[in-house]
Amino acid sequence: MRAVTAIEVPDGVRAMIYAHALAMFPEECCGYLTGLRDGTTVDGLVTCRNAQVDGEHPITPERGPESGFVIAGAELFAFARAFDGSTPPRIVYHSHGNGLAYFSDVDRHMARSSDYPVQHLVIGVASGEVTEVAQYAWSADAADFVEVARWRP
């Protein structure tokens, strides 16, 4: 079985993600991290608007912004175009307002159907604090996303 390696997220970038997640709580935040195409770390952060707030989610419109996220519109086009640049998206991140950092069935479905070559970072937030963070990457051997890193802030 081939090992799947986590893309490193430096402390300064983590701090910016945590601030975004806390500012959006109890709604889910979303955005992505950029880095060199062949690098093993990220160095840029792009915060996005959670279009779920406006009911723009095409697959699960019944979910509110406290239990769903979607990057849409001009931000989604910018995300897609960035793959052609020198520092493409490497990790998509979002938060869960229940304090748990897990890759839900809906998260997995959306990640599989989009087919973007990125890892995923989930930030658990509860009672005004980040509680845990987990990172997921596609494993061809498992034919699914697998957890590649987990930490507590």
Residues 13, 151, 24, 27, CA torsion sign: positive
Neighbour count for residue 39 (Cβ, 10 Å): 12
- Residue 34 near residue 44, CB atoms below 8 Å: yes
Report cis status (omega within 30 of 0) of the bond before 26: yes
Domains of the chain, with CATH numbers? 11-151 (3.40.140.10)
Residue 106's pLDDT band, with cuts at 50, 70 and 90, is: confident
Q: Record the pTM.
A: 0.92
More confident site: 107 or 32: 32
Alpha-carbon distance of 114 to 126, in angstroms, equals 28
* % of the chain surpassing 70 pLDDT: 90
pLDDT tens-digit series, residues 37-88: 778 889 999 999 988 776 665 556 666 556 678 888 899 999 999 999 999 9
